[in-house]
Amino acid sequence: MLDPFTPWQEDPDQLEARTVGRSEPAAWLTAACDAYLDGGSPSWCLVTGARGAGKSHLLQLVRHRITDPAAVTWIGEDTPVEPDAARLWQRLQGAPSRWGWRPEPESTRTRRLLFVEGFDRLLAALKPIERWSLRHELAESGYFLVASAVSPSIATGQDDAFFGQFDTWSIGGLDLEQAEALFIAVSAEDVQAEPGVLKRRKALVHLAGGSPRAIVTLGNAVRNCRPDEVGTAEGLLQAIQTLVTHYQQRFHDLPALGQQILVALAEAPRQLTATEVKDITGSTSAHVSAIARVLEAAGTLVRTPDVRDKRVAHYALAEPMFRYWLEYRTTPSWEQTRVSWFARLLAEVLSPEQVLNVWWSSPPGVAREAVESTHHPVQLFLRAMAGLREDPSNASAIVDRVLELKGHDAWMVTLLAARLVDMGLDASVDDLCKRVPASPILSACVDFLNSLQTGDSRSVFVRLLREHGHHHSSSALGWALLRRVPREQQTWERFTPDEASDVIPIPFLRIGLLEAPWPGKPPLLQWEAIAEFDLEGAPDVQALVALATRHGDAAIFRRGCDELQRRLDDPKYSAGTQGFFLECPDPACPAPDSDSLAGLLWARESNACEGHMSWLASCASMTEKNFGSLLQRFQRREFLYDFPMFREANVTALLALALRDRERFQTLASCQPESPSIRQAIHTLEQLDERANGPLQPELELVWQAVAPPERR
């Protein structure tokens, strides 16, 4: 880990390796020192710059580069100040302390270099007359003085002892390219890292502005933490705390108007013009302009001309991190703003998905609350559902998290119950039921699970659907419960017309019941039960259309197509979640063998949506735009329900399309290269292509038989 505050403790090689953008001042200073050592008499040198700009780094670098490093007496930054020039001069010469300690070995050299850090601080403790004495001592001694200071003001006052005595180089902030190079050197990241790392790097460099110390601190934050977003979040908090003193000192170094300008910029929601800054600070334009120029030179402020009127300049903070520091240090009601503060900080650096992962991977507390300000509770719920799949043994904690979500809704609880049921986590279902006592559907769910022991599960199931079928998530829960019915009990009688009238209005579940809910068992609903059903507004109309093709029901097929056609002109659908269904099945491109496909999907833990997917896969004439919308929809659904069946169905549907029309598939796939479903489909396709070279794996062979065109089987 690099110490951003004490570069003189660093190994010279490492110091060289991470030197960025300072070649010119280093060459200038080295040349001056070498000229002095060679017998010349150059002017004393002064390096100025804001705190953390790299003055100590530069001095230390030059110390190692000059021809005779041993000629240097190094006076570190934290040397105690002296009010008396003679005592200070004694200290600068490296006089032994009371205990015999001396900072540098005594030397008999006649030409010595005196490197003094924070020379302005030492001078500030001296009265003017003492400064003249010190200058006299320095001049008489023949030392070559190389000093650093925050401001060059020690050498610009007409009456000051050191007026005109220094050749000065004011070092500013690094530009973006240099800052990134320094960040890479510190963080040890690859120059060509993966996109996520690149994005994070750019964000961190942007946060730091051009301040080398801030860049080193943030680079350390990334380097020393786990190489993931959680590590980044932890590192960021540490970095802010590390930089508190740094920003504080820099802030205090500024003149009063400089501080006011920075606060105005930090609090403003956008860039400010000079006139706005003038109005906010109550100063004059000339004064604001002059101070802004100084702030700009110090790398604290960025000034950009207006694109339309170059006479107008816009001011912004060069280091966005400053804004966070200021808020961190000055907000009176910190407990209330802490959460959004951290969330905004994370959002600067991480993508929303990464912030979500930070929340999920962190213990309940700050991160959970923080992420709620950037994410909708639904997104957090979906992440919790994904977490349940990742670690079923953590179900109890996940139940806690879902119930703690602000604005958690009944449908979330029901979906969680469905997932728990599906995974066989009955104890957690019981626990959930106790935690949400006012939820009748959960009680009914527990009753059903209990009924599996007694054997009257069918009647309990029918009652549940009758009483709670209107519930938003009854379909998912109903399907999950069906899957829990033991094989020996999968002998339910077909639903009576009366029962069917309760079940038919439940979207998606009815598809499964019209199909075979259990392999090798008859459907629980008769196809005829759907004959009179009004398809208008049905969310699963596509699946019903696909199912109609299997049952040869031209009437339902036509009604379904009419409904889909109607939606083409309905803004509610074209602009909403159904918007991607913009094309009807192409008669010239019929659906694949849906029986085979359905069997395959069932075997792969799919559900009733297979008809839906196979129908979609038949849309070979679908436009790229609609195809993109479709995939986004798929991905949302994968995340929403977190059932593998969706992903499998997507992949199989895509595969069907690829086998039937490879060129069309490639066109569509090239539009959405980042889709996991497409990637998996392409991978499977490549494996299937190997069929000519020998038999496939049994599973792939099944896929081939299901979806390959008959002539190729």
Binding site for another protein (CB under 8 A): 25, 43, 46, 48, 151-153, 155-156, 158, 163-170, 172, 290, 293-294, 296-297
- Shortest reach from residue 295's CB to another protein, in Å: 8
Whole-Å CA distances, 680 to 612, 647, 653, 673: 19, 9, 12, 11
Cβ(138)–Cβ(36) under 8 Å? no
CA nearest to 60, candidates 115, 23, 4, 121: 115
- Shortest reach from residue 36's CB to another protein, in Å: 15
Instruction: Look at the alpha carbons of 252, 253, 257, 259 in this order and tell me if their dihedral is positive or negative.
Output: negative
Q: Which is nearer to another protein, 32 or 236 (CB)?
A: 32
Helix 426-435 and helix 410-422, axial crossing angle in degrees, nearest 10: 160
Cβ(200)–Cβ(210) under 8 Å? no
Which strand (E) or helix (H) includes residue 75? strand 72-75
- Shortest reach from residue 179's CB to another protein, in Å: 17
**Helix, strand or coil, per DSSP, at residue 255:** coil
**Region at 127 (left for phi over 0; alpha for psi -120 to 50; beta for the rest):** beta
Q: Which is nearer to another protein, 298 or 513 (CB)?
A: 298
Query: How many CB atoms are located within 10 Å of the residue 199 CB?
Result: 15
- Shortest reach from residue 146's CB to another protein, in Å: 14
Three-state SS across 421-480? HHCCCHHHHHHHHHHCCCCHHHHHHHHHHHHHHHCCHHHHHHHHHHHHCCCCCHHHHHHH
> In whole angstroms, what is the distance from residue 669 CA to residue 628 CA?
9
- Shortest reach from residue 166's CB to another protein, in Å: 6
Cβ(212)–Cβ(57) under 8 Å? yes
Q: Which is nearer to another protein, 150 or 239 (CB)?
A: 150
Helix 698-707 and helix 676-689, axial crossing angle in degrees, nearest 10: 100
> In whole angstroms, what is the distance from residue 644 CA to residue 676 CA?
13
- Shortest reach from residue 50's CB to another protein, in Å: 12
Helix 244-253 and helix 229-242, axial crossing angle in degrees, nearest 10: 40
488-498 burial string, b = 16+ CB within 10 Å, else e? eeeebeebeee
Q: Which is nearer to another protein, 163 or 334 (CB)?
A: 163
Q: Which is nearer to another protein, 48 or 578 (CB)?
A: 48
CA nearest to 608, candidates 561, 641, 574, 566: 641
Cβ(117)–Cβ(56) under 8 Å? yes
Cβ(710)–Cβ(691) under 8 Å? no
> Within the chain, what is the greatest distance between any pair of CA atoms?
112
Q: Which is nearer to another protein, 177 or 536 (CB)?
A: 177
Query: How many CB atoms are located within 10 Å of the residue 438 CB?
Result: 7
- Shortest reach from residue 230's CB to another protein, in Å: 41
- Shortest reach from residue 169's CB to another protein, in Å: 5
> In whole angstroms, what is the distance from residue 137 CA to residue 89 CA?
7
Contacts of 270 (CB under 8 A, 6+ apart): none
Instruction: Look at the alpha carbons of 370, 371, 374, 380 in this order and tell me if their dihedral is positive or negative.
Output: negative
Q: Which is nearer to another protein, 151 or 526 (CB)?
A: 151
Tokens matching residue 419: 């997932």
- Shortest reach from residue 86's CB to another protein, in Å: 26
Q: What is the DSSP letter of 315?
A: E
- Shortest reach from residue 45's CB to another protein, in Å: 10
- Shortest reach from residue 83's CB to another protein, in Å: 25
- Shortest reach from residue 300's CB to another protein, in Å: 11
Q: Which is nearer to another protein, 9 or 285 (CB)?
A: 285
Q: Which is nearer to another protein, 147 or 321 (CB)?
A: 147
Q: Which is nearer to another protein, 253 or 296 (CB)?
A: 296
- Shortest reach from residue 47's CB to another protein, in Å: 10
DSSP string, 497-523: HHHHHHHTTSTTHHHHHHS-SSTTS--
- Shortest reach from residue 48's CB to another protein, in Å: 7
Q: Which is nearer to another protein, 122 or 511 (CB)?
A: 122
Q: Which is nearer to another protein, 153 or 667 (CB)?
A: 153
Cβ(328)–Cβ(240) under 8 Å? yes
- Shortest reach from residue 297's CB to another protein, in Å: 4
CA nearest to 237, candidates 249, 224, 250: 224
Q: What is the DSSP letter of 9?
A: G
- Shortest reach from residue 231's CB to another protein, in Å: 38
Phi, then psi, of 493 in degrees rounded to 5: -75, 155
> In whole angstroms, what is the distance from residue 112 CA to residue 69 CA?
10
- Shortest reach from residue 158's CB to another protein, in Å: 6
Q: Which is nearer to another protein, 94 or 172 (CB)?
A: 172
